[in-house]
């Protein structure tokens, strides 16, 4: 007679990209050993399609391994190059100091811009097909027991979890109930996000334009559209939000010149406060944090979702290995291994974004000249640029991930 260990239970609070990717990966690795439940009141609710993210090649390979990438169609746009410039709005000449371009493998872009709503739908469908239980409700409470956590849902249902994962965003009630503090601060800036229709083609080029008030990013999208993230002091962002659409379009156009022709706003712009925050611990007893619940960084390099997907991959692989060995999903060694693998990269990324934002969000002439000189030197060093591109691509996907172009 063959012994079959009882199934263990993983409960994930948060049905965004990170929580769903984690759930799907665990089912791929240990479907016979682990039942997975994802709880989020937004599950099954139609999401707005305006929000986009930059997905590095490494995380794209992970999504491809999950089987959720190929069907996204024009919801994804390859980034052919990244142009970095640094000037004032009133400057007549706006030179591009650094151009990053190239492929990680033949036909494989180093990054893609993806609309999050279609990606979440694809992940939900794949999770349902893989046997993940999707509950359209939130986690109201959780209590630590001797060998598990007891989860109380907002609809009154009670679940038992061998491991609870908080992937429930920056406010993270799960993190708060675990009394895990956050180290960080507000940047004094807001990010303005909008989707644009461009008159001229963008050729897949992403732009990072550093302005004294904060960085302005333009991300290429299919259909000759683009998404922008414009970081401004809070008062300046509120002023922009109060403008009529045509006036706001004119101000946006002034940020990157007229090379893309006239622009049209396709949605109502949104603003959100910018802050950095790293959870003081990514783990507690029978609990782990992932994605924005664990870390929040400045969006200027578009690394927030990439960090979260790297969390999902690392935690799923650790949980799958524990289940395969017959160990409790929430055993201390597994959780400590996860934290050791993911907290240091998150801290390093937060520190790097902090440094870049401080360096470029000012108008001190000697500093501007030094940083522009540095960018120019990097631009003339092909070997260094190649290293930067590969680092930006985050090539850390599992060995079995397909590398064919999307």
Provide the pLDDT for residue 3: 53
Q: Do domains 8-75+114-183+275-358 and 77-112+187-273 have the same CATH topology?
A: no
Domain 77-112+187-273 superfamily per CATH: D-Amino Acid Oxidase, subunit A, domain 2 (3.30.9.10)
Helix H, strand E, coil C: the string for the chain is CCCCCCCEEEEEECCCHHHHHHHHHHHHHHCCCEEEEEECCCCCCCCCCCCEEEEEHHHHHHHHHCCCCHHHHHHEEECCEEEEEECCCCCCCCCEEEEEECEEECCEECEEEEEHHHHHHHHHHHHHHHCCEEECCCEEEEEECCCCEEEEECCCCEEEECEEEECCCCCCHHHHHCCCCEEEEEEEEEEEEEEEEECCCCCCEEEEEEECCEEEEEEEECCCEEEEEEEEEHHHHHHHHCCCHHHHHHHHHHHHCCCCCCEEECCCCEEEEEEEEEECCCEECCEEECHHHCEECCHHHCCHHHHHHHHHHHHHHHHHHHHHCCCCCCCHHHHHHHHHHHHHHHHHHHHHHHHHHHHHCCCCHHHHHHHHHHHHHHHCCHHHHHHHHHHHHCCCCCCCCCCCCC
Q: What are the mean pLDDT values of the chain's consecutive 10-residue runs (406 residues total)?
A: 74 97 97 96 77 90 95 91 69 57 74 93 96 97 93 96 97 97 91 92 87 84 91 92 91 79 89 92 98 90 87 97 95 96 91 70 53 48 48 48 42
pLDDT digits (tens, 9 = 90+) for 304-314: 899 999 999 99
**137-174 burial by CB neighbour count: b if 16+ within 10 A, else e?**
ebbeebebeeebbebebeeeeebebbbbbbbbbbebbb
pLDDT digits (tens, 9 = 90+) for 118-129: 999 999 999 999
Q: Are strands 52-56 and 149-153 parallel, antiparallel or unpaired?
A: unpaired
Provide the pLDDT for residue 298: 82
Provide the pLDDT for residue 405: 42
pLDDT digits (tens, 9 = 90+) for 140-175: 999 999 889 999 999 999 999 999 999 999 999 999
- Every domain of the chain and the residues it spans: 8-75+114-183+275-358, 77-112+187-273
CB 88 within 8 A of CB 211: yes
Provide the pLDDT for residue 349: 85
Provide the pLDDT for residue 5: 67
Torsion angle defined by CA atoms of residues 36, 40, 46 and 47, in that order, rounded to the nearest 10 degrees: -110
Provide the pLDDT for residue 316: 97
Where does 8-75+114-183+275-358 sit in CATH, by number?
3.50.50.60
């Amino acid at each position: 007679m063959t012994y079959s260990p009882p199934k263990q239970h993983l409960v994930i609070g948060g049905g965004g990209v990170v929580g769903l990717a984690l759930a799907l990966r665990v089912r791929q690795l240990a479907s016979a050993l682990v039942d997975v439940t994802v709880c989020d009141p937004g599950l099954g609710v139609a999401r707005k399609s305006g929000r986009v993210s930059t997905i590095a090649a490494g995380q794209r390979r992970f999504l491809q391994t999950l089987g959720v990438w190929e069907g996204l169609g024009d919801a994804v746009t390859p980034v052919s190059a990244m142009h970095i410039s640094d000037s004032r709005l009133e400057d007549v000449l706006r030179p591009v100091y650094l151009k990053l371009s190239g492929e990680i493998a033949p036909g494989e872009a180093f990054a893609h811009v993806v609309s999050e709503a279609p990606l979440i739908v694809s992940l939900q469908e794949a999770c349902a097909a893989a046997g993940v239980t999707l509950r359209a409700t939130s986690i109201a409470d959780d209590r630590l027991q001797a060998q598990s956590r007891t989860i109380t849902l907002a609809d009154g249902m009670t679940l038992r979890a061998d491991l609870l994962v908080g992937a429930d965003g920056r406010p993270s009630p799960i993190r708060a109930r675990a009394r895990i503090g956050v180290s960080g601060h507000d940047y004094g800036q807001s990010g303005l996000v909008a989707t644009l229709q461009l008159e001229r083609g963008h050729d897949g080029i992403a732009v990072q334009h550093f302005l004294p008030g904060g960085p302005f990013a333009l991300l290429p999208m299919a259909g000759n559209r683009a998404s922008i993230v414009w970081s401004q002091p809070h008062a300046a962002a509120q002023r922009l939000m109060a403008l009529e659409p045509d006036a706001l379009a004119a101000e946006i156009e002034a940020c990157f010149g007229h090379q893309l022709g006239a622009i049209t706003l396709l949605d109502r712009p949104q603003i959100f406060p910018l802050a950095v925050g790293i959870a003081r611990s990514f783990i507690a007893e029978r609990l782990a944090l992932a994605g924005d619940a664990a870390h929040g960084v400045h969006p200027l390099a578009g690394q927030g979702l990439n960090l979260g997907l790297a969390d999902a991959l690392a935690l799923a692989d650790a949980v799958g290995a524990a289940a395969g060995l017959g160990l409790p999903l929430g055993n201390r060694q597994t959780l400590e291994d996860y934290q050791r693998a993911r907290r240091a990269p998150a801290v390093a990324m937060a520190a790097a974004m902090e440094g870049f934002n401080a360096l470029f969000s000012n108008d001190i002439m000697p500093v501007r000249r030094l940083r522009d000189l540095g960018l120019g030197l990097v631009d003339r060093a092909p070997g260094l640029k190649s290293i930067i591109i590969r680092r930006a691509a985050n090539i850390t996907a599992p060995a079995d991930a397909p590398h064919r172009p999307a």
